[in-house]
Each structure stands twice: as structure tokens, then as C-alpha cells.
Amino acid sequence: MRFPSLKHLICFKEWNSKMVLEVVCSAMNLRNKLCDSHHKKLDLLHKTKVMILQEINEPLVKMAVSKAASLLGADDVEITDALVWEHDYQGRIFSDMADVIFISTKTHACVKRFADKSSVPVLCMFSRTHAPIQSLATIMAIMQHFGTMKGLNIAYVGPPHPVLNSYLLLCPMLGAHIKFKCCCKVCPVSPLLLNASKALTKTTYTVSKQCTETNEALKDASVIIAGPTTQMVEKIPEFMLSDKEINRCANYRWIFLHTCPRGAEVDDDLFNHCNAKTFDAFQNMQYIAAALMAYHIKDYTF
């Protein structure tokens, strides 16, 4: 059984700029209304069950979804298990007991198969190829500062990560240019969605470019995003960033965000710089999750 009328968030390739901006602007409106969400509760999703289905534990994203559920008056349940995704009936069974399902998984294709059998909206929190909530929260932080994504130069410096794949789709979709360095010359590697990103640039007249040097990625950038610290200690020097280097290469009106976890690739001066917006982006995650719930369950925007 398929439910083609349902709205899911599996991959941004299935979305368009209007859908993305509706969610981001809705989240911005909600944050403007409730800039402090502590001890606050709306009744928008009263009597709604939000399922957080995890194959891997992503604590920050999970907490953002849980907080969003309670903020909107819904109840959430968390299930962490090594699911047998090959059983296509899982989507039908789980959706009988929830009103929306957020999934975190080691793979990605399984989410699409799960959603095809689901009778409720299915949203990918995190997978091997995507990090929708964190990437949207970062886009929101950028728009809070600049007012738009159009025409901005985005630089990403760090190891390959699902959030980079999401940026590779979101940036050209929203009219921004992206340049990134995610490997060294000795062991070249390209993100999984680079070709899809380049295809998007042809329709939006933007740029998506892989760089071998940090300076090349930073040139004229307005937004600098550091990837999570690499587990390969010997690779850390490849992704080192400093405020001096950014000032030398980037646009004079730059902002900085770190994907986290943070390691030695970024020093305290840059991480705590007055232009750093890392904590704004992380705070945005609960508002993005809330906007996604309202959009997918009630077709509602704040």
C-alpha cells in the first residue's frame, strides 16, 4: 500500500526552494514569537504522537525533535534499536501507532522504503547521506544574519559528512554558491551528492565546486562552515581554520559556524569569535523540528 499524497522529508532532491523556505521562515517566525522555549507549550499538536525511531543515537537532533514535540503540545516516544529495514512491512506497522515518524539510520535507501509503506509523514533526522535538521538550522542562522541565501558564497572545510551533502543541495536550490574542501590531495574523495549539486547549479546559475586548498574554498566567502572534527588525527592539519586566515581570504562581512564535535582544527579565538553563529544554529534545531512537524502533520506554518 502506498500513500502518495503524504509529505515526507527523505532527501532534498524531492523538495524545491519554496518548500524549504516555507519551513525555514516558519521556524524563524516561531523563534521570534518564542525566543525562549523553556516552560512554554502550544496546543497545535495536542493528542499527537511523535515517534523518534533511531538505529543510531544522535543526541542533539533527538533532543531537538523531543523538545519541539513538547513545545507544540505533542507526546513523543523514542525507540532505539537495530531495525531490520529489509522488512518492508515495518513502515506500515510503526505508522499505525504514530502520527509522524522521525528516523535516524546508518543507511539511507531504507528510509524511502519505510516511507513508501507508511500511512503518516516520515522525516529523516540523520542518515549516511543526509542531515536535514542540522542543515536547515544552519540555513536558518545564515538567513537570520543576511536575510537571504541568494548570492552568498558558502565555504565548507572539513571531512565528508552527511551535512555537507545536504548543503550541496540546499545552497544551489536557494541561490547560494558553495565551495568546499573535504579531503587531501593524497586521498581524494568526493561527496555522494556532488553530481546532483552540479545538476542543480545549471538551473539556478550557481556554483558548486570542490577545492583542494583551504584558501581556494575561503576566497570571497561570506559564510564559513567547519565540518566535524575528523577521527583521523593525522588529517586534522588539512582542515585547520583561524580567524586570521578567514580575514585574509573571505568577504569582510563573514560569519562562522561549526558543525561539531569540535577538535583541534579550530582554536578558541575562532570558535568564540564575535562573528561565530554556531550556538544560534544549534538553538534553531528545535524550531526547525517544530516547523517540520507543523508543516507535515497540519500543513501549518507559523
Q: List, for residues 227-265, the tens digit of each pLDDT value.
A: 998 878 888 888 999 999 999 999 999 999 999 999 999
User: What are all long-range contacts of 79-82, with beta carbons under 8 Å and residues at least 24 apart?
Assistant: 79/51, 79/52, 79/53, 79/54, 80/54, 80/55, 81/54, 81/55, 82/55
Q: What is the CATH number of domain 12-132+285-298?
A: 3.40.50.1370
The mean pLDDT of the chain is 91
* Alpha carbons 98 and 94: distance in angstroms, whole number: 7
Answer whether 12-132+285-298 and 134-281 agree in fold: yes
Q: How confident is the model at residue 3 (pLDDT cuts 50, 70, 90)?
A: very low
| Angle CA 250–186–221, to nearest 5 | 10
Architecture per CATH, domain 134-281, reads as 3-Layer(aba) Sandwich (3.40)
Domains of the chain, residue spans: 12-132+285-298, 134-281
Q: How confident is the model at residue 82 (pLDDT cuts 50, 70, 90)?
A: confident
pTM for this predicted structure: 0.93
What are the grid coordinates assigned to 220, written together?
A: 570571497
Q: How confident is the model at residue 5 (pLDDT cuts 50, 70, 90)?
A: low
* Alpha carbons 106 and 56: distance in angstroms, whole number: 7
Q: How confident is the model at residue 4 (pLDDT cuts 50, 70, 90)?
A: very low
Residue type, 259: T
What are the grid coordinates assigned to 170, written together?
A: 540546499
Those residues whose C-beta lies under 8 Å from the C-beta of residue 83, and which sit 6 or more positions away, are: 53, 55, 90, 105
Residue 73's CB is within 10 A of a number of other CB atoms, namely 14
Q: Are 164 and 191 in contact (CB under 8 A)?
A: yes
Element (H, E) at 51: strand 49-54
User: Which residues are registered as beta bridge partners of 79?
Assistant: 53
